[in-house]
Structure 1
Amino acid sequence: MSVSLVDLPPAPRTRGPAAPPHDRTVWHINTTAHGGGVAELLRRSVPSHNAAGVPTKWLALGGDAEFFAVTKRLHHRLHGYHDPHGPLGADERRIYAAATAQLGREVLEHVAPGDLCVLHDPQSIGLAPALSAAGIKVAWRCHIGSTEHASPEVRETWEFLRPYLDAPLRCVFSVDGYAPPGLRPGQCVTIPPSIDPAAAKNRALTPDEVTAALRAIGLEEGAQGTGSARSGTATVLQDAPLPPGAEVVVQVSRWDPLKDMAGVLAAFAERIAPRRPAAHLVLAGPEPLDIPDDPEGAEIFAGVRDAWAALPAPVRARVHLVKLTLKDTEGNALLVNALQRRADVIAQKSLREGFGLTVTEAMWKGAAIVASRVGGIPSQLRHEREGLLLADAHDGEEFAAHVLRLLANEGLRERLGDAAALRCAELFLAERELADHYRLYQELRP
């Protein structure tokens, strides 16, 4: 077990949105400094807090394989996903309690009474009782969840976490309806996540910049050599690069069973590729070895890689797998930006989703989006207004039909993309989320 202070470069000084000075430190605590939406949010928001006059630091918790195996199950279960390992029992409670107790003691070496700790997701809520007992103000931000509270997995997981839920003064959820029954009146608040339009992942890129970024990793035709490629920022598995004029469908996600990369691959190979000869698929995700709190990533990627290798050669030549290193944060962000801007259609065929940051990123770029009607995604974009939503996230035929419809209709792509960019600007940019956080901090001040 370990606790590490994440060192971040400062952001330019700004004025916060009507926030009075905060004389105590705000600590954001999660389990990884790289990979996934929470780390990305903190990498942007912590410097922004400091620039606006709110002293803020970030602690990343390290754990062993047993701890992360349990927390990964908690993650899937809160989404309502079937747990093949069976019920949560005494062993899981012991592992979780022992790990969070030790981590709590180490966190208390950093924080001081009167400080505010924002704990992120189920991995860290176990610290709440010890921190509260030491005079620390505690909020818990849960980025995942489900409105299916009657689901056995969801219900049992909330019962597992129940001993820790009394300590936080506030529980923050990304979507209305994620809060479990039984919390105190006034204990919950909703803060949808946001993106920074000036960040490397979201800033405007010229067509030449997009092409240069993709050629640099060997994905776009015109790079040195052909076939699979490795660079300092990415590894590309392919038979040949994207040719000029290719219609490109992109999904950017973790290698996680809930993101259904394998389902996207199957739908493309069986239903899209035969009908659109110019269509290519790019599946991009982080290098699994760079994410210590995600023990499944390597296994899921291996399954997708094997499915790709088994495709008939003409179809396999139109599918490209990209692993992005997390050791170069700026390079990773620029590549994701370039991939999303090169796409004719961006997919997010999640089986479960807390809140789709990749959907928000695509909206900001004015992309044509096909996404599942699960979790927070319907609160982000609306069917036929800002994108196309799947009624059944498991339905490959419906997914393919939506993608084919968009590829065949440039006017529809532009209409939906323009509406998505406008909605993102109104609801999902960083300034709004910072203001929401300031209100939360003010409520928790003594």
Structure 2
Amino acid sequence: RKGIPSKGFLCEKSRVEQRWFVREIIIKMAEISGVGNKAFIDEKIRELRGNGNEDKNIAVELGILTPLRFDKENLPLIFKVPQDPSDIISLKGRIDQLIRSIPRKPTLDDFIEKVPKELRPTEEQIEEVRRLADKLRGLEVTHFNSTKYGGGVAEILHWLVPLMNSIGVKTNWVVVRPKDPREFFPITKTFHNALQGVPSTLTKRIEEIYLKESEYMFEKLSKREKIRGDILICHDPQPLATVSYAEVKKVWRAHIDLSSPQKEFVDFLLPFIEQYDASVFHFEDFILKEIEGKMPIYLIPAGVNFLTPKNMELPSEFCSYVLKSFDIDKNKPIILQISRFDRFKDPKGVVEAFESARSELLKEGLNIQLVYAGNMAKDDPEGGKILSDLISGLGAKKRRLHKREFIPKSVIWRVGEPPYIFIINLGATPLVENALVINALQRVATIILQKSLREGLGLTILEAMCKGKAVIVGNVGGPAYLIKEDGLYGYGVGYKDEKGNLHYSSEETAGKILKCFTEPHKTLEMAQMAQRNVAVNYSAIRHILDYLKLFDDVVKNPF
């Protein structure tokens, strides 16, 4: 019923062999239960096929298994229909007021007073932040990354920089700009993929372009006096060489899954990494073995800020307004994935799993819909092709969404009539409007997927969890850490092999989707536990606390 498992001898067999095996199982079960013998089962299968019922589950039809039954009575625990706004003008006024209420320079008191009670930091965390902030007052830190918009790093820096400034640590943010972005970013995307285990070839041309552009950016930033401060923080491989040339204390912050990198790429970047005074990774599995024992290593998982347009509480009426703007049916449960259009986010696998789950639930009279919303990061040249392949494979129909109040200009592709799959290329700017739409979609979703094949952390998972939503994730990298174990803080699918590849089946993911609908009580309990875990271990306060501890060490230690 839940498909071929992703682990074990059966997953290695062909589809024909798998079907034969399942058929033999059904025959044995039929014989044991007294339903009939092999000849009887074969006849029943032929009869079902002859009547055009190939999708029927023969074991259910014969009474060997009970039919799948979603818990209709308790479905409201995980699926609530948002209210329609009675007055659009009044609703817009409420949203404007909510946006104005978000502090531009949040203080620690804001996180105590303005964050919902269930998401507030512990008293111990607040006291420790205050103590270290007083100790480090006047310190200057500069962050370097490769894009202002798109992706988790930029999103974190948008709130981390002002929050650090508000507690007395002067913090700057510099976006590196290569001379030829069309040459540089495809190169760094190759680095990104190879460091996450994708087989790639490091050519002389790749090396030359990376080194040439890195030297150019260093000279340009130096002339403009952008490389300044007591500590420099370099995010990911793009600015790695550029920042390594600076003769001040510096830290390399890796946000990607480095558990099974391609060795030749590590060897090429290693001389630059070794110029840093410390390095930071999300989790222990991501630490590069080549630098262990050579420099201080810190584990700092990313955090989520609850005082932003993307995570603040929203009126149900606004969520309904967003769905109506995209012509999404508010009366049907939504399966949602929010991610960049990236091969590692497995868009095709997401659609296949949804289709499989939907076909089962339709038999029970429940119609679900998929919303896959993302945008293009400026430092990711592959996004356009990934999106194009996805929509062409689905035969989706395009519709442009013009600018509306609180809705950024976007493009939507829809499948079905009425539509049941929505692929949305959401406008990245204005930032506030992009964030509000994502917030609304997450709040109305019944289940949120992050079906990543590789993932450093998975910020959208934390965003879903802080809103009390059930998540289903690829059991790899950061997402595996975030759910801790299957069914504790979320459901995980597949397993990671020694090369870092995720093995899974779309039916396995569909099985987890079905489990949420058949066990809404357990689903809700799991989501509530995850919400508290995020509040304590993955909040903005815990994130800046870890950074302050790092800064304190870097300042007082000569390394």
Please give the range of the TM-score, normalised by the shorter of the 2 chains: 0.7 to 0.9
Partner of 1:146: 258
Q: 1:17 aligns with which of 130, 153, 159?
A: 130
1:427 is aligned to 2:537? yes
Question: Aligned partners of 1:164 and 1:403: how far apart in 2?
Answer: 44
SS in structure 2 of the partner of residue 306 of structure 1: helix
State the one-letter code of the partner of 2:532.
L
1:178 is aligned to 2:298? no
Question: Aligned partners of 2:207 and 2:301: how far apart in 1?
Answer: 30
SS in structure 1 of the partner of residue 328 of structure 2: coil
- 8 Å CA contact 1:259, 1:351 repeated in 2: yes
- 8 Å CA contact 1:119, 1:141 repeated in 2: yes
Partner of 1:438: 548
Distance change (3 Å), C-alpha of 1:313 and 1:58: closer
Task: Please report the RMSD computed on the Cα atoms of aligned residues, expressed in angstroms.
Answer: 2.0
State the one-letter code of the partner of 1:177.
D
Q: How far has the Cα of 1:160 moved from its partner?
A: 1.7
Distance change (3 Å), C-alpha of 1:65 and 1:314: closer
Q: 1:276 aligns with which of 353, 361, 369?
A: 361
Partner of 1:305: 391
1:123 is aligned to 2:231? no
Partner of 2:488: 385
Partner of 2:19: none
Q: 1:189 aligns with which of 285, 295, 298?
A: 298
Q: How far has the Cα of 1:210 moved from its partner?
A: 1.3
Question: Aligned partners of 2:152 and 2:449: how far apart in 1?
Answer: 17
Q: How far has the Cα of 1:106 moved from its partner?
A: 2.1
Distance change (3 Å), C-alpha of 1:121 and 1:128: same
Q: How far has the Cα of 1:247 moved from its partner?
A: 1.4
Question: Aligned partners of 1:140 and 1:146: how far apart in 2?
Answer: 13
Distance change (3 Å), C-alpha of 1:28 and 1:309: same
Q: How far has the Cα of 1:283 moved from its partner?
A: 0.3
Q: Which stretch shows the higher mean deviation, 348-357 or 412-421?
A: 412-421
Identity across aligned pairs (percent)?
Answer: 29
Question: Aligned partners of 2:415 and 2:542: how far apart in 1?
Answer: 48
Deviations 1:248-290 (A, max 9, x none): 1000000000001121112222x1221223110000001x2xx
- 8 Å CA contact 1:387, 1:420 repeated in 2: yes
- 8 Å CA contact 1:74, 1:157 repeated in 2: yes
SS in structure 2 of the partner of residue 167 of structure 1: coil
1:28 is aligned to 2:117? no
Q: How far has the Cα of 1:101 moved from its partner?
A: 1.0
SS in structure 2 of the partner of residue 118 of structure 1: strand
Partner of 2:56: none
SS in structure 1 of the partner of residue 284 of structure 2: coil
Q: 1:322 aligns with which of 404, 409, 424?
A: 424
Q: 1:161 aligns with which of 259, 264, 269?
A: 269
1:137 is aligned to 2:226? no
Deviations 1:317-336 (A, max 9, x none): 21011111112111111111
Partner of 1:359: 461
Distance change (3 Å), C-alpha of 1:82 and 1:397: farther
Q: 1:296 aligns with which of 373, 382, 385?
A: 382
- 8 Å CA contact 2:142, 2:229 repeated in 1: no
Q: How far has the Cα of 1:206 moved from its partner?
A: 2.5
Q: Which stretch shows the higher mean deviation, 37-46 or 105-114?
A: 105-114
Q: How far has the Cα of 1:421 moved from its partner?
A: 0.5
Q: How far has the Cα of 1:404 moved from its partner?
A: 1.5
Question: Aligned partners of 1:403 and 1:110: how far apart in 2?
Answer: 52
Q: 1:96 aligns with which of 210, 225, 228?
A: 210
1:77 is aligned to 2:163? no
Q: How far has the Cα of 1:197 moved from its partner?
A: 1.1
Q: Which runs of structure 2 are paired with 1:200-211 in the superposition (5 Å)? A: 200-211=309-320
Structure 2 residue ranges without an equivalent (≥5)? 1-102, 110-128, 398-413, 496-501
- 8 Å CA contact 2:447, 2:513 repeated in 1: yes
Distance change (3 Å), C-alpha of 1:113 and 1:272: closer
Q: How far has the Cα of 1:314 moved from its partner?
A: 4.2
Question: Aligned partners of 1:316 and 1:25: how far apart in 2?
Answer: 55
Which one has a larger percent helix, Structure 1 or Structure 2?
Answer: 2
Q: How far has the Cα of 1:211 moved from its partner?
A: 1.1
- 8 Å CA contact 1:10, 1:51 repeated in 2: no
Q: How far has the Cα of 1:78 moved from its partner?
A: 1.4
Q: 1:258 aligns with which of 323, 334, 344?
A: 344
Q: Give the paired residue count.
A: 401
State the one-letter code of the partner of 1:337.
N
Question: If you compute each CA radius of gyration, which structure gives the higher value, 1 or 2?
Answer: 2
Structure 1 residue ranges without an equivalent (≥5)? 1-8, 220-240
Question: Aligned partners of 1:160 and 1:262: how far apart in 2?
Answer: 33
State the one-letter code of the partner of 1:359.
I
- 8 Å CA contact 1:308, 1:316 repeated in 2: no
TM-score (norm 1): 0.85
Deviations 1:171-228 (A, max 9, x none): 011111212123152521110000011211111123222112332xx22xxxxxxxxx
Q: Which stretch shows the higher mean deviation, 355-364 or 120-129?
A: 120-129
SS in structure 2 of the partner of residue 131 of structure 1: coil
Question: Aligned partners of 1:124 and 1:58: how far apart in 2?
Answer: 13
